[in-house]
Amino acid sequence: MTGSDSLDGFLDKWRERWPEWSLVDRFVAPELHRRTVAWFALLQEFDDMLNIAGDPLPANAKLGWWGEELRSWAGQRSRHPLGRVLEPVRAPWAQLAEALPDLAEARDVVADPAQARSTLQRFADAVAAVEAALFDAPLQPAAGDAVLTQLLAQRVQDLGAAAVPSAAGGEGAWQQVLLARWPARVAGPRPRRLYAALARARLQARIRGGDYQPAPAALLWRGWWAARG
């Protein structure tokens, strides 16, 4: 196993993409730090399989592998390094596995915002259900919607205009629609609220058209606000 395939390799890859997390992770209980980053690292793997720009076949093969892997976690038979951290938690892994094929379908250009949301709704709801178990929190009715909005915003971040519904009025208009549905503090457990706050700030910077250069004080305030619950 190479360094990039080790547990620390996956965790570090996520931290490199989200360096601002190091300022807000103080609002997460210390015993949940590693589990939180492992979970978000797994979601990043799924984001990468969703937001591909080239040949989809390798990503589709990975989605199939991950479906089998997640189903095995119910019996605590993980093969992936991230499973060593996540699998011990009794979460609805099979529900997440069942939703993975939706990621391949969601790559197609959709007609309107409603279709963009409906295509990924099952996956987002599965993510929210797992997060409730991972972080010992009640599953809130709006938690799936918060995950969904962040998913769609990440697609624009990764793919630009290619991720915009054809009837959405262009990239800028679609980003404004997403921001309007994205409160500063979303439903869900504390790690999700923190992650969403950082992702929302990136979307705001993209809308403004400037570089994303968050000040540490602003990040700390944003993290404190998101963590309040």
Q: What pLDDT does 32 receive? A: 97
Q: Please check whether the domain covering 3-227 is classified as CATH 2.60.40.
A: no
Residue with tokens 């205009």: 161
Each domain of the chain, given as residue ranges in start order, spans 3-227
Q: Whose CA is closest to 143, among 87, 190, 110?
A: 190
- For position 197, what pLDDT does the model report? 96
Contact 69, 83 (CB under 8 A): yes
3-state secondary structure the chain: CCHHHCHHHHHHHHHHHCCCHHHHHHHCCHHHHHHHHHHHHHHHHHHHHHCCCCCCHHHHHHHHHHHHHHHHHCCCCCCCCCHHHHCCCCCCHHHHHHHCHHHHHCCCCCCCHHHHHHHHHHHHHHHHHHHHHHCCCCCCCCHHHHHHHHHHHHHHHHHHHHHCCCCCCCHHHHHHHHHHCCCCCCCCCHHHHHHHHHHHHHHHHHHHCCCCCCCHHHHHHHHHHHHCC
pTM for this one?
Answer: 0.95
The reported pLDDT for the residue numbered 76 is 85
How high is the pLDDT of residue 131?
Answer: 98
In this predicted structure, what is the pLDDT of residue 109? 79
Q: What is the pLDDT along the chain (229 residues), one digit of tens a residue?
A: 333 478 999 999 999 999 999 999 999 999 999 999 999 999 999 999 999 988 999 999 999 999 999 999 988 889 999 999 999 999 999 999 999 999 999 998 788 999 999 999 999 999 999 999 999 999 999 999 999 999 999 999 999 999 999 999 999 999 999 999 999 999 999 999 999 999 999 999 999 987 788 889 999 999 999 999 7
Alpha-carbon distance of 195 to 216, in angstroms, equals: 16
Give the per-residue pLDDT at 2.
34
